[in-house]
A = this chain, B = another copy of it.
Amino acid sequence: MTTNNTSILVSADQLSTFISSALQSAGLPDQDAIKVAGLMADADLQGSDGHGVIRLPQYVKRILAGGINTRPNIRVVTERAAMAVVDGDNGMGHLVMSHAVDIAIEKARTAGVAWVGARASNHAGPASLYVRKPIEQNMIALYFAVGNANHLPPWGGMDMLLSTNPIAVGIPAGSEPAVVLDMATTVAAYGKVKAKAKRGEQMPEGWMIDRQGKPLLDPKRADEGFLLPIGGHKGYGLALIVGLLAGTLNGAAMGRDVVDFNHDHVTPTNTGQSVLVIDLQAFGDPAAFKSSIDHLVRDLRSSERLPNVERIWLPGEQSHLRRQTYSAQGIPLSAPMLADLVVLAAELKIAPLVTNQA
């Protein structure tokens, strides 16, 4: 929760305006650019700083290289009362998944529960972005995604056939913040490894192993090893299952077919994501449910603590507090991040990011 002293503060609106301008300049239609930019700034607002504006240069590069369809025909290709598959037509993942979530909410309102999967989608930012709207509608949401680069081998193996395939779950509460779990199925997301390398720090044991199965601590040697799944074979199982539910089931990429979008900016990624939405109304009185969640949250938070533990957190609580703080004070952007955006603005010949300190 501490912000780096050298960082500059920017409001979500300022950030969103800049991102939108960059995406429009790269070729996205105005309304689409505004929508994607809003979601990206929202990611930074909740502190998901590995999935917000930091991705903008890469997105722009892919759009300019023709790796993204800027005029996609995002459409339902098959559906039933409680499910649909959306073909994203290689559009921006944020647009595809926003549409998918809207369909899921609509269907869940009638059927009680609905599952919507996407194929031919793209990287869509942090998983938890897509459980927020259902929560506002008194709905539980589960989100599964195939990551856009394979860094995880099967347990005991060395061929990187799996990604950090994340899970997000959002559960509405009453007066407490919603319970929002957002986790990679690996001990560390790959972005954290990159961040350690940038800061010149070593990784803790347990994040990665090398090809001898020994702990790999130097993040600059990350290419020589693999991420470790949470709980050993269990996390491997979870990563696989998430990939099957978000990828294979939707006819999207999984396993060998996953395109490493860090190195390939042209080949369509055929990214797959799935969202499950559960309408509380179908199960009983949503207010009673949310009150139960409040009680449980307070029980957990007020648990006796282990020595040296200052506070017990609920999943999503830190993001919730960051959102409050950053809304009031601004989102901190590091100097290198700002420098990247200055370069991007110059390349695209757009107005630079306006910050509170500018």
Contact = CB atoms under 8 A, between A and B. Distances in A.
A78 B315 contact: no
Given A82-B111, A85-B283, A211 B289 contact: no
A155 B240 CA distance: 25
Given A81-B82, A179-B241, A282-B83, A161 B303 contact: yes
B78 A306 contact: no
Given A212-B307, A300-B161, A312-B155, A282 B111 contact: no
Nearest to A248: B292
B278 A181 contact: no
Q: Is the interface of A mostly helix, strand, loop or mixed?
A: mixed
B303 A153 contact: yes
A115 interface: yes
Contact of A306 (B80, B81, B171, B211): B211
A313 B155 contact: yes
Contact of A237 (B183, B209, B233, B238): B183
Interface string A48-75: 0000000000000000000000000000
A113 B115 contact: yes
A197 interface: no
Given A82-B114, A283-B249, A284-B78, A157 B300 contact: yes
A211 B309 CA distance: 12
Number of copies: 2
Interface in A291-310: 292-293, 295-296, 299-301, 303-309
A158 B306 contact: yes
B255 A112 contact: no
A198 interface: no
Given A81-B82, A83-B111, A248-B292, A171 B303 contact: no
Contacts of A313: 155-156, 233
Contacts of A231: 183, 187, 230-231, 235
Interface of A: 78-83, 85, 108, 110-115, 117, 140, 153-159, 161, 169, 171, 179, 181, 183, 187, 209, 211-213, 230-231, 233-238, 240-241, 244-245, 248-251, 254-256, 276, 278, 280, 282-284, 289, 292-293, 295-296, 299-301, 303-309, 311-315
